[in-house]
Structure 1
Amino acid sequence: MGADDAELARVREVATAGPYQPTWESLQRYTAPRWYADAKFGIFVHWGVYSVPAFGNEWYARNMYLQGTPEFEHHRSTYGPHTEFGYKDFVDRFEAPQFDPTAWAATFRRAGAQFVVPVAEHHDGFAMYDTARSSWNALARGPERDVVGDLGAAVRSSGMVLGVSSHRAEHWWFMNGGTEFDSDVRDPAYADFYGPAMREETAPNEQFLEDWLLRTVELVDRYRPQVVWFDWWIERPAFEPYLKLFAAYYYNSAARWGREVVINYKWQAFAEGSAVYDVERGALHGIHPRVWQNDTSVGRTSWSWVPDQRYKSVPELVGELLDVVAKNGVLLLNVGPKADGTLAAEEVALLEGLGDWLARHGEAVYGTRPWTIPGEGPTQLAAGSFVDADAREYTGADVRFTVRDDPGGTHLYATVLGPAPDVLRIRSWGAASGLLGEFENLQLPASPEQVVSRRTVEAVEVDLPSGLRGVPGVVVRVTLREREVPRRPDGLH
């Protein structure tokens, strides 16, 4: 029996000797952990070899080999023929001399993040961690650092939870453009990096699938992440038995560690309820019955750093966070560090701005659950994936609701997503709405001034102090009387 066969046998043993079995029926007994449902906000980190060319986006490794693309022409004019300078040659330029995981973790903590998910391996096949399964990894080449391990230690020292993402599945076909003309992808000397480079229409073979499984298991065993995020291509039918095997292995391993963990998936790769559903750059229309996640980024142009990035604004990020949380979701917000290991000043400013808002208003976010409805207002958001290409301009009538239990009672929050008007009217709290009964102690948590408010048939009206007028992200809090406490969609009280 070879080493891989022995390891596969061990994986199957763990996957069948615990609370879970590698079947959808068994895995659907999974429940997302309370820590994750309470966390609401994590940081995603796209950093890798693609950060060196910093052109187009994080798919540079693929696009530079696709003839006719801007990346192909840019690469040839900037670096020379693909036979002389290929993607592999960026690895030696990826030295990252200013990578400071402690500084990164401090910035993420300052932003208010509760967990951090670095990309362990992107589609390009370069591992950002210490792996025995490939010499093309950040400890052996480039930075000569175990990026995931070093960042993970800093994240945990800062009181946050470590996760990892794996985009390895897409590597089956990611570099196949380089097989269609004379390039270094055709060179057998680099097949261990560029391969398999197969056509996307073909199903991955058993060798690739077993390697995918063992790489993912290695990540779990080495770093014990409490989140494992997968990109979309695992939804191919060939992955299904390996996904079930991995999920049972991971959940059973976590039970042995005494930890609760999360798997994020897109589309229909996992059976409903067996893991946490993730929507890329997306939104939902209403409240989801189970906790879910929106993974998005501070920028619209690329997940990795590029000099021409189009950035969102702090109010837009606050609005995106509240829209997700009000619908029973968690926001995973991406940043893309520069190749030298520094965080771009624009991205730090956005994180600090969001962190400042959360420092004042975090009680309306952390540990909350959805109310009876997610919100109100004239701005209609498209639902689904990839719906954040254009800026969202919220009005002072766009409001999102959250509710939380505290020792002092159950508090209901209304957060104004746009610039707050002089008189805030919350129509869903009006006497005629039928949504809210009696309440008390209406307050503005961020303002020391006495609040003037009244309830009419149509709305609760709040006269905002002058310092809050025109300010986005204003929060109103009321305390619910015991008989008015709503039932949570996920059963948590």
Structure 2
Amino acid sequence: MRKLFLLFSSALLAFSTANAQDHGLSQPYIPETDKAVLQKLDEWQDWKFGMIIHWGAYSQWGVVESWSICPEDEGWTQRAPYGIPYYDYLKKYEALSTTFNPTKFDPSKWAKAAKGAGMEYVVFTTKHHDGFCMWDTKQTDYSIAGPNSAFKNDPRKNVAKEVFTAFQKEGIHTGAYFSKPDWHNENYWWSYFPPKDRHVNYDVVKYKDRWNNFKEFTYKQIEELMTTMGKIEILWLDGGWVRARKQDNKKENDITAAEIDTRPSKQNEDIDMAGITKMARSHQPGLIVVDRAVHGPFENYRTPEQQIPDKPLSYPWETCMTMANSWSYVPDDKYKSVNKLIHNLVDIVAKGGNYLLNVGPGPDGQLHEEAYTTMTAIGDWMKTNGAAIYGTRSVAPYKDGKVCFTRKKDGKVYAIYLLDEGEQLPAQVVFSGMKPAKGAKVTVLGAKEKISWKATAAGTQLTIPAAVQQKGWKHAVAIQISAVE
């Protein structure tokens, strides 16, 4: 089964990239009005770099999270062995919950690695679309702590709580990923009808009580997360097709970005986001709510997936992207180079965004060793250059050639030169659109020598002393300019 799924990893990457190309980035953004939330959003924009963790019972097969049980997605997440009847496959998939036994689960190791990498926040998948819960929920038995789970007697069975506690101990801010759709729940995919696509599979008007039961279930699960996990600062909601819709006047921009490549539902899948948000913030004041791809008052920031926007955006945003190829664990997954990841980080931050980088733990609870070595290497770079990343905002022209720009609130500007693999910092760094102020001090982070500069026809030319050039820089070099014109 695992081998066949690996054949589709490239298709998965292509789908997730294509499916994310817009994510509604051009749609009007509705600013938050709650002062505590606005303060938290400003703080969040200072954090810049975080980790998202996709983990569930599916990791035992090394397959994509949830999607293989959704009939409309057969093809890019083909069931294995090929031709297996749907309900036979679903039975096998859901039985993974009884064998999932991550005995080497050690969230403190993850948290220390994230801290070492310079990550300031974490978003953990408490429940993906398949409905399998990674905490000791009282609303369903389909969980890592449920009565049929192999992990039920382990003292760490309340996995999400263990994860959040470990990261909070490292001083890392915590956010809860939660899927609004739940394909295991009888009140979302009712077994009376076969599922056809990712949407609710019955008429929510005709069976109003059933839909209300699902709304209550969702409310109670989110309330558990908001009251039992310590300080949660982000509620990161996925499954943007679960949303309120006007039935009498459906317009193109009433379709979420996640639905652009599939059949849009005509149903009003309203789960009462206003009520959920009010409840959640009563327990977690200032909570950032991210109702992904649902443009409105509960989309405090936007989340372009597996892509970096071409230019700065006028509202808070975060690129969520995989460190390897897959969101979930794949045994031989291929990791992006450290150079690529750092260049992504610099590019995103220069455009005013945050970078949320994904890892997928394996069935035993451990990460790939390459995930640890990658995070260590990123951390080594951040120790020297973090001042050019944290607490910065976008500044025009944000990028010129191989140089990206960031700005501190006190007026300092950083020109970050992106090094190719094996490239030495050149003797002259030239860029246009940015000029140091008269008397400004220019230095390279990690070096004491002053950098001279002059205005030329090509723009600002910095002259790098040989001693600074030869310091063995990797990935990118941040040049601090104390003031600009």
TM range (shorter): 0.7 to 0.9
Q: Is the Cα–Cα contact under 8 Å of residues 51 and 304 in structure 1 kept in the other structure?
A: yes
- Residues 234, 49 of structure 1: CA spacing in aligned structure 2 closer, same or farther, 3 A cutoff? same
Aligned to 2:252: none
Residue 454 of structure 1 aligns to a residue whose secondary structure is strand
1:70, distance to aligned residue in structure 2 (A): 6.5
The CA RMSD measured in Å over matched residues stands at: 3.4
Residue 308 of structure 2 aligns to a residue whose secondary structure is coil
- For residues 268 and 338 of structure 1, the distance between their equivalents in structure 2, rounded to whole angstroms, comes to 31
- For residues 353 and 64 of structure 1, the distance between their equivalents in structure 2, rounded to whole angstroms, comes to 41
Q: Does 1:466 align with 2:469?
A: yes
Residue 181 of structure 2 aligns to a residue whose secondary structure is helix
1:251, distance to aligned residue in structure 2 (A): 2.9
Aligned to 1:350: 374
Aligned to 2:6: none
Q: Is the Cα–Cα contact under 8 Å of residues 180 and 242 in structure 2 kept in the other structure?
A: no
1:69, distance to aligned residue in structure 2 (A): 6.6
1:164-220 Cα offsets, whole Å, 9 max, x none, are: 1012425379999xx9xxxxx96x9xxxxxx99464455763322332222222211
Aligned to 2:339: 315
- Residues 174, 364 of structure 1: CA spacing in aligned structure 2 closer, same or farther, 3 A cutoff? farther
Q: Does 1:215 align with 2:221?
A: yes
Q: Does 1:37 align with 2:63?
A: no
Aligned-partner residue type, residue 290 of structure 1: Y
Aligned to 2:19: none
1:113, distance to aligned residue in structure 2 (A): 0.9
- For residues 73 and 309 of structure 2, the distance between their equivalents in structure 1, rounded to whole angstroms, comes to 34
1:142, distance to aligned residue in structure 2 (A): 3.6
5 Å-filtered alignment, 1:268-287, equals: 268-271=294-297, 275-287=300-312
Residue 443 of structure 1 aligns to a residue whose secondary structure is strand
- For residues 127 and 335 of structure 2, the distance between their equivalents in structure 1, rounded to whole angstroms, comes to 25
Aligned to 2:429: 425
Aligned to 2:289: 263
Aligned length: 410
Residue 445 of structure 2 aligns to a residue whose secondary structure is coil
Q: Find 1:167's aligned residue among 168, 175, 179.
A: 179
1:335-372 Cα offsets, whole Å, 9 max, x none, are: 00111011111111111111111111000011111113
Q: Does 1:149 align with 2:161?
A: yes
Aligned to 2:233: 226
Residue 440 of structure 1 aligns to a residue whose secondary structure is coil
Q: Find 1:337's aligned residue among 358, 361, 364.
A: 361
Q: Find 2:111's aligned residue among 98, 105, 108.
A: 105
Aligned to 1:244: 274
1:444, distance to aligned residue in structure 2 (A): 0.5
- For residues 362 and 169 of structure 2, the distance between their equivalents in structure 1, rounded to whole angstroms, comes to 23
TM-score of the two chains, using structure 2 as the length reference: 0.75
1:90-110 Cα offsets, whole Å, 9 max, x none, are: 123210010011111111111
- For residues 277 and 66 of structure 1, the distance between their equivalents in structure 2, rounded to whole angstroms, comes to 24
1:292, distance to aligned residue in structure 2 (A): 1.4
Report % sequence identity. 23
* Structure 1 unaligned regions, length at least 5: 1-23, 180-184, 189-194, 378-397, 485-493
Q: Is the Cα–Cα contact under 8 Å of residues 293 and 329 in structure 1 kept in the other structure?
A: yes
- For residues 241 and 109 of structure 2, the distance between their equivalents in structure 1, rounded to whole angstroms, comes to 33
TM-score of the two chains, using structure 1 as the length reference: 0.74
Aligned to 1:17: none
Aligned-partner residue type, residue 105 of structure 2: F
Q: Find 1:403's aligned residue among 384, 388, 407.
A: 407
1:25, distance to aligned residue in structure 2 (A): 8.8
1:116, distance to aligned residue in structure 2 (A): 1.1
- For residues 67 and 404 of structure 1, the distance between their equivalents in structure 2, rounded to whole angstroms, comes to 47
Q: Find 1:49's aligned residue among 57, 76, 84.
A: 57
Q: Does 1:58 align with 2:56?
A: no
* Structure 2 unaligned regions, length at least 5: 1-28, 205-210, 246-267
Aligned to 1:385: none
More helix by share: 1
Q: Is the Cα–Cα contact under 8 Å of residues 430 and 456 in structure 1 kept in the other structure?
A: no
